[in-house]
């Protein structure tokens, strides 16, 4: 007799253990974020740690820097903050609904509906990269490969701001704003080591707790890494 499916777990519930789910048929990320749309912005845009991370990045960018926003969502607050400061911002997101909304809300930036895994990234073509929570729905191998590609796309000395929910999980079936999603992540020490192995120098690390602004939300642990590509 087959085992019943494991119930979806919240990020908080799986904090201390590694689980691998059964092969459940879950909607792809594009479907989830198309449905969330502006609701995602309302829930997460107020995170003060992200604001601090953006201020850190702004303090290190030369005027008119080329910045890639990975998983740009609705364009707020990341692309909007950087574009308002005069930087040349390209946002990439798999959700056409999010991409269209971002283009309307942040006309000073450019947005492309694409999967970062398929996006061509020219060597040393960017001054900075932001990847705020956008790698969570890639498995660990894909996260490792993508972080390496993003690092190589930076000019030597370029900066990368990376954020995740720091957990020891691989392909876990979780609940995210009422939607079932499959997520993978690393602990804070493991992600720091991965960044360094990718060719980054981790300059600052901040761990914080944030409660998203939606009904029934519980506090989430967040990790922000502020990095620079080694010469």
Which residue has better confidence, 92 or 173? Answer: 92
| Class of residue 231 by CB neighbours under 10 A (exposed 0-12, middle 13-18, buried 19+) | exposed
Across 212-225, average pLDDT: 93
Distance CA 28, CA 46 (A): 26
Across 37-56, average pLDDT: 91
Contacts of residue 61, Cβ cutoff 8 Å, sequence gap at least 6: 67, 85, 87, 127, 128, 159
Across 60-80, average pLDDT: 97
| pLDDT tier, 25 (very low <50, low <70, confident <90, very high otherwise) | low
pLDDT digits (tens, 9 = 90+) for 149-161: 999 999 999 999 9
Across 52-80, average pLDDT: 97
Percent with pLDDT over 90 in the chain: 73
Q: Is the pLDDT of residue 15 over 50?
A: no
> What domains sit in the chain, N to C, each tagged with a CATH number?
28-166+187-229 (3.40.50.150)
Which tokens in the block code for residue 139? 């498995």
> Is 179:8 a contact under the CB 8 Å cutoff?
no
Percent with pLDDT over 70 in the chain: 88
Which residue has better confidence, 57 or 181? Answer: 57
Across 14-36, average pLDDT: 56
Across 18-36, average pLDDT: 60
> Is 143:169 a contact under the CB 8 Å cutoff?
no
Q: Is the pLDDT of residue 30 over 90?
A: no
Q: Is the pLDDT of residue 74 over 80?
A: yes
**Phi (first) and psi of residue 143, to 5 degrees:** -60, -45
Highest-pLDDT range among 32-36, 173-177, 216-220, 226-230: 226-230
- pLDDT for res 16: 34
Residue linked to tokens 């493991």: 190
Q: Comparing 27-31, 69-73, 131-135, which segment has the lowest mean pLDDT?
A: 27-31
Q: Calculate ∠ Cα 215-91-138, nearest 5°.
A: 65
Which tokens in the block code for residue 20? 């691998």
């Amino acid at each position: 007799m087959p085992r019943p499916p494991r119930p979806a777990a919240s990020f908080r519930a799986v904090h201390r253990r590694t689980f691998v789910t059964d092969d459940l048929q879950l909607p792809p990320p594009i479907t989830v974020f198309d449905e969330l749309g502006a609701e995602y912005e309302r829930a997460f845009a107020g995170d003060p740690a992200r604001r601090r991370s953006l201020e850190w990045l702004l303090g290190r960018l030369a005027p008119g820097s080329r910045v890639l926003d990975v998983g740009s969502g609705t364009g707020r607050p990341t692309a909007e903050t950087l574009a308002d400061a005069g930087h040349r911002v390209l946002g990439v997101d798999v959700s056409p609904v999010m991409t269209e909304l971002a283009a309307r809300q942040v006309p000073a930036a450019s947005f492309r509906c694409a999967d970062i895994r398929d996006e061509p990234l020219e060597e040393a073509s960017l001054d900075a990269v932001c990847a705020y929570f956008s790698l969570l729905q890639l498995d660990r191998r894909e996260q490792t490969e993508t972080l390496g590609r993003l690092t190589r796309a930076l000019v030597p000395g370029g900066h990368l701001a990376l954020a995740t929910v720091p957990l020891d999980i691989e392909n876990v079936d979780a609940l995210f704003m009422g939607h079932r999603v499959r997520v993978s992540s690393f602990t804070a020490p493991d992600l720091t080591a991965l960044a360094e192995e990718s060719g980054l120098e981790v300059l600052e690390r901040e761990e914080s707790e944030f409660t998203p602004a939606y009904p029934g939300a519980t506090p989430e642990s967040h990790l922000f890494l502020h990095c620079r590509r080694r010469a």
